[in-house]
């Protein structure tokens, strides 16, 4: 069974990364963080969520902010 972060279904960034026209540019984040059985814990969004806060809509898994277009 393939690993899947428990927050993927409700993560607005995951939804953006997998349904956007920028998929080729940003999809590697999904494999590197969202579907990795260990590295998902390093996701900036995940860290914010486990602290009890909501991550900003434009924060990427690596902690950088996605520029609004």
**34-54 tens-digit pLDDT:** 989 999 999 999 999 999 999
Nearest alpha carbon to residue 45 among 2, 6, 1: 6
| 61 vs 21, residue with greater confidence | 61
Distance of CA 10 to the CA centre of its chain: 10
H-state helical runs in the chain: 12-19, 23-26, 28-29, 44-50
In total, how many domains does the chain have? 1
pLDDT value of position 52: 96
pLDDT value of position 55: 95
Range of the structural domain that residue 15 is part of: 1-69
pTM strictly above 0.75 = no
Condensed to tens digits (0 to 9), the pLDDT of residues 12-37 reads 888 777 776 556 677 788 889 998 99
- Any residues with CB less than 8 A from the CB of 54 and at least 6 apart, and which? 48
């Amino acid at each position: 069974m393939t690993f899947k972060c428990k927050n993927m279904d409700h993560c607005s960034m995951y939804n953006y990364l997998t349904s956007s026209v920028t998929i080729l540019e940003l999809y590697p984040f999904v494999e590197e963080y969202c579907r990795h059985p260990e590295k998902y814990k390093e996701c900036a969004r995940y860290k914010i969520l486990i602290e009890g806060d909501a991550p900003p809509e434009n924060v990427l898994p690596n902690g950088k902010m996605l520029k609004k277009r």
